Every structure is written in structure tokens, then in C-alpha cells.
Chain A
Amino acid sequence: MNLVRAELERLAARRFVQLMVLLLAVAFALTVATTLAGSHRPTPVELSRAQTQAADEVRNLELAHDRCLRIKAGTVTPDENDYLPRDCAQIDPALMDKLPSASDYLSGVFVFANEAEPLLYFLIAFLAMFGFLVGASYIGADLNSGGVVNLLLWRPRRFAVLGAKLGTLLGGLLGLSALASVVYLGVFWLIGEASGLTGRIGGAFWSSLAAVWVRGLVLVLLAAALGFALATLGRHTSAALGTVAAYLVVWELGARLVFQILSVTRPDRFMLSSYLAAWLSGEARFWDNDACSGDIAGFCDGYYSLGWAPGLVVLLALTAALTVGAFTAFRRRDLI
């Protein structure tokens, strides 16, 4: 426990961590300031105009659906402007997840319900990068500055020392991320309340936002563990950065090109980024070049999708394997 406390202090005292937290605060303040500057509370006139527009749009959708049904039934002949899906249910407004609402027709008004998710994604992206860099530099710098050696002279248990470091890192990061995201969303919600609209924030909204939040936090922790493991394996902060850069260039770009030249089926299956996207957004859809090659005549759905489950499995397995490798290597290694 004392080891963890000491590590937590060490972590908090790192310049890099402080700098990144500061950067986060600055980015946060800037977003808040620009949002505040560009948003106002809609006047009743604006509001009622927007409501009429939204109601008109919904009516148009209903008319189009009706017309579709009637064309299919043969009571109306179609003209060239008609969009005719195979099944009219696809354009049935009653079945749509999101109908046009007044908030879509207000300009210069911040609507929390519409913006919360993209804002959260931005925060998660920042925190994941932060986690990776801090994870890598925390152990990398300590391995190089002799901090680990000093600590091992006090606690000659390598698993415990490295484990305390990783545990402290993940715990601290989780705390910081949870706090940051709650404060972040809270502030934007307040902006919505005070100088904009909160929009439709019912149970469905919160549960979908919570899902993104949980998936995001898991991603942040995975990124930190990955950075930590790579830097431990390579004994250097730059080993982690180098590995990621090399992976991106060689595999995500290079191999993708090669797959394209060789016309490999569904190359996205082999890319970590696909699993990352799948995990983060719940489902990722990719175009399959071969799916519709034989099918000229009718309708063909050339997309295939990756769900969050395989995404999580792949990311978790990769991180776990590297972490186990890092611990094993660290246990046997000569520390100079």
C-alpha cells in the first residue's frame, strides 16, 4: 500500500503528467469559451419557427412513406424524383431512431443532447493519447533514471514493484478520466441549461452516452497499459512511441496497400484500427469489395460489420499478451 502511495506521488510529480493535465485544462477552457461565445438561449420566436420547421419535415417524411406504400400497392405511378427502397419500412418515420426535432433548426444555439457524444469522443481521444504517453514515459524514464533500481534496493520484489507501478498508473488514470469526463460533460450540460438547450435527454440518451463513456474509459486504460508494456519491453519511452509509429506506417498504411494490390478480401479485418473503431462506437461497418462482384442485377449490401465484442477481445488480448510479456521480461532482466 505504501508502495502505491509513493508511486502515486511520483506519478503526480512528473512534469509530463502535469503538462498534459494543464493541456487538457486549456483545451477544455477553450472549448467552453468558444461554445459559450457561439451560443445563446433561443427566443420564443426562434423556438416556435424551429418547431414548425421540424414538424414540416416530419410531415414530409410521413408523406414520402405513404407515397412509397401506395406506389408498392400500385395505386400511384412513380415519377423520377421518388426514392424507392425495397421495403418502405426503411423510410417509415415511426421506425426511425431519430426524428427531426426543433433543436436541429436552431442556429447559434448549443444543444447538449446533440453535442454530448462528439464532445465525449474528443475527450476520450485525448485521454487515450494521454494514457499511452504517460504509461510509456512513466516506466521508461524510471528505468533509465535508475529510479527502478533504487526502488528495488528497497523492495527486491520485481513483480510487486512493476505491478505497483502499473496498478497506480491505471488507478490514477481511471480516477482522473472519470473525474475529467464528469466535469467536462457537467459543464457543457450547464452551458446547455444556461445559454442554449439541453435538448431531449431522456433515458435512452443517457444510457447510450454511458455506454460510450464506459467503452472510452476501458480504451483509455488499455492504451495506458499498452504504452507501459511496450516501454518496459523496450526499456525506453521511445520504444513505445517507435512501435506505434512503426505499426501505423508498416501495417496500417503499408500492408493495407499491399492487401489492396493483391485484392485480399476484407482487409479491414486485419487492422487494429478496425477493432478499435468497433469497440469504441459499438459497431464498425466496412465495405467488402468482393461481396457484390457477381451481382449486377439487384440490390446488394456490400457492407460487413465488426461488433464491439470482437473489438474488445482483440484489444484486450493484445494488451494482455504484451503486459504479460513485459512482466516476464522484467523479472529476468539484468538491471544496470
Chain B
Amino acid sequence: MSAVIEIAGLRKTFHTLRQGRRIAVDGFDLLVEAGQVHGFLGPNGSGKTTTLRALLGLVRADAGRMRVLGAESPERLADVAGRVGAIVESPQFFGNFTAHKTLRLLALAGGVPTARVDEVLEQVGLRDRGDERVKGYSLGMKQRLAVASALLKDPQLLILDEPANGLDPAGIREMRDLTRSLAAAGVTVLLSSHILAEIQLICDHVTIISRGRRVAYGPVAEVLAGFDQHQWQVRVAEPERAVELLGRAGLAVIPYHDHLVVTGVVDPELISRTLGEQGLWVRELTPLRPDLESVFLELTGDHPHPALPRQVDGAPPNDGVIDLDVRESREVDA
């Protein structure tokens, strides 16, 4: 498989008069291969948008190498720009133009046949309102227009920074279907989003960034597997006895008020046999698999704290750096 996006050692520090230096991206790596639908996750302020801006030549990187569709960025970006559709953090459009005109001008500037305009407006569901001024659009409609602008080039690579921002549930689903159909047509998609369930549904690969660094990457299933503690939810008629029996068999059991959780068991047969042999029949035996949300929160150290509001950019409670390195080495490259 060929690499579509390669980023190695990207570093970007913003210098502002008031705050001084702010390290936005700190030696970040990213690899997206052709045909992937790649999720790009990270807490607020972790450097996602900055990474994408640097990749697209909008901000100047301090260090690192970047390639898009094989072309060095930003030096040779112009060679491939016609094949890269991108939206970066809620693009703004000129409010006095209609959606139709906005897209037509972009198509004109980019040398795309203007007939595409109607196609993409249809695709994002703006066909009937394409002749209205953009300033009268709702947030979700503006977002759809942004997606339409990215689709206009009929891109090989689609970079979408929070495309679901402001979309209604139906819009999110349409977005999902659209992404899938594009992927099926062979478009590589890099997608950043905070809706983790959504990412888990659409993406086959993920990269998780935290405070400017990559903390996990790989196929979604593998990243999740790396966090699988092999837990099982068990329900029986006599939980106290079950705790005792399983404990005697050397299993780690945590009792909850109406069920038990057994940890570290690869084959659930062990549980049902241990209990069944003593005449205790299992009523429910459910695997507890980690989802992307729990993995994300664990990795980025952003477990919600009951008492304190979490601070953007704040250091995680247990500065998880060592942990994360271990996890990263555990991942298998596809």
C-alpha cells in the first residue's frame, strides 16, 4: 500500500506577544495509507488542526518532514493540490455570496469544470438552497457547504477537520454514508472528530494525538485490542457464592450490585465451567470490550474528574508518558 500522508517529527511553536511560546505540535508522526478511512483524534488544543494546517501549507512548520500524495509539503504541494480536498476547522465563506457562487468561484480558480458545483451541492444536501446567501445559513448548512467545497475537486485524498461540527443527527448519518461511499470509491479520508462513536463506526485506522504527540495509532481493532483487559460481565443466581468459587479458581472478580466482572480471562469457557461444575448456572456472560471513548480517555489522561472541571491542555492526573510509550510499542503495524 502506498502512503498518502506521511508526517515525521512535525514541530510547531506559536509565538505570541502575550503568552510567549506555545508548543502546539511536538514531534508528531502520522502515516495514512491509500484507501484508509483514518480517524484523527485528540482533546481540544492537542494540535490536530495545527497539524493539518502545516500539512496543507497554511502554517510554517518549525521542523519535520511532510508528504502528501508523494509530494513534499509545502514545497511541492501545488503539484497535488488539485487532488486534495480539505476543510480545516469550520471554513469561513464570504457571506454575501450564494453557496452556488462561492463554489463556482473556487472551481474557476482551481480549474475544475463548474458543472461539478451542482453535483456536490446535491451530494451534501444543499441543492434546493444553493442560491441563498451564505450569511443566512445555519451552522450545519455552512458545514455542509464546506464539505461541498472539499468534494468539488473530486479528490483522491479528503482531509476533513471536524466535519460533523454543527450537524444534526440526520446530517451526521448522511456524513457517515457519504464518507463510506467515498471510501468505497477509493478516496482516502483523514477525518478528525470528537464524536468517538462515529469514528469507531466509520474509520478503519486511527491516530490519537495528545499534547502535540502521537500516543496511539494503527487499525482501530488493534488499538482497541491493545486495551482489552479481557473482562466479562457475569450474572448468576447466587453472586456471593460465585465470587467465592471464582476466587478459589484464581480469577480476579469484582462484585457489583447485580452482576460480577471477571478480569483477565481469555476463554470464557473457564468461567462457565468453574461455576457449572458447582451447580451454579450462568445466566449471562458478556464480553466487556473497550470502546474508542474509554481508550481515548485513558490515553489522553482526560478522565473526567468528579469534582474539578477539566482544563484544556492540562497535564493528566498521572502524567501518563511512560504508560503511553509502552502502549505504543505494543501496537502492530498494518
Q: A residues engaging B (CB < 8 A)?
A: 2-3, 5-7, 9-10, 13-15, 141-142, 145-147, 149-157, 332, 334-336
Contacts and interface: CB of A to CB of B under 8 A. Distances in A.
B53 A150 contact: no
8 contacts: A2-B110, A2-B111, A6-B105, A15-B96, A141-B94, A149-B88, A156-B78, A335-B53
A81 B186 CA distance: 99
B59 A335 contact: yes
Contacts of A334: 14, 53, 58-60
A146 B93 contact: yes
B109 interface: yes
A154 B106 contact: yes
B281 interface: no
Interface in B64-113: 74, 77-78, 81, 84, 86, 88, 91-97, 101, 105-106, 108-111
Given A9-B105, A13-B96, A149-B58, A155 B110 contact: yes
B57 interface: yes
A155 B81 contact: yes
B30 interface: no
Nearest to A7: B109
Contact of B105 (A10, A14, A141): A10
Contact of B109 (A14, A141, A155, A336): A155
Contacts of A6: 105-106, 108-109
A147 B78 contact: no
B207 interface: no
B56 interface: yes
A115 to B, nearest CB: 39
B143 interface: no
Contacts of B59: 334-336
A156 B93 contact: no
Given A146-B92, A150-B93, A5 B86 contact: no
Contacts of B97: 13
A155 B58 contact: no
Contact of B91 (A7, A9, A15, A149): A149
Contact of A145 (B88, B93, B105, B109): B93
Given A6-B108, A150-B92, 5 more contacts: A145-B92, A146-B92, A152-B58, A154-B153, A155-B110
B149 interface: yes
B101 A13 contact: yes
A152 B58 CA distance: 8
A15 B88 CA distance: 27
Interface string B239-266: 0000000000000000000000000000
Tell which of A9, A15, A155, A156 has the most Cβ of chain B within 10 Å. A156
B57 A150 contact: no
A146 B88 CA distance: 11
Nearest to A334: B59
Interface in B114-156: 149, 153
Tell which of B84, B95, B108 has the most Cβ of chain A within 10 Å. B108
A335 B54 CA distance: 10
Given A153-B56, A156-B78, A146 B91 contact: yes
A52 B149 CA distance: 75
Leading 8 A-B pairs by shortest Cβ distance: A146-B92, A154-B110, A6-B108, A334-B59, A6-B109, A156-B77, A6-B105, A156-B57
B134 to A, nearest CB: 10
Contacts of A336: 53, 58-59
A285 B153 CA distance: 60
Contacts of A10: 94, 105
Interface string B259-298: 0000000000000000000000000000000000000000
B11 to A, nearest CB: 14
Nearest to A151: B109
Nearest to A150: B91
Contacts of A13: 96-97, 101
Nearest to A149: B58
Tell which of B57, B97, B105, B149 has the most Cβ of chain A within 10 Å. B105
B60 A147 contact: no
B21 to A, nearest CB: 14
Interface in B139-180: 149, 153
A296 B63 CA distance: 73
Nearest to B87: A153
Nearest to B92: A146
Contact of B108 (A2, A145, A147, A156): A2
A153 B81 contact: yes
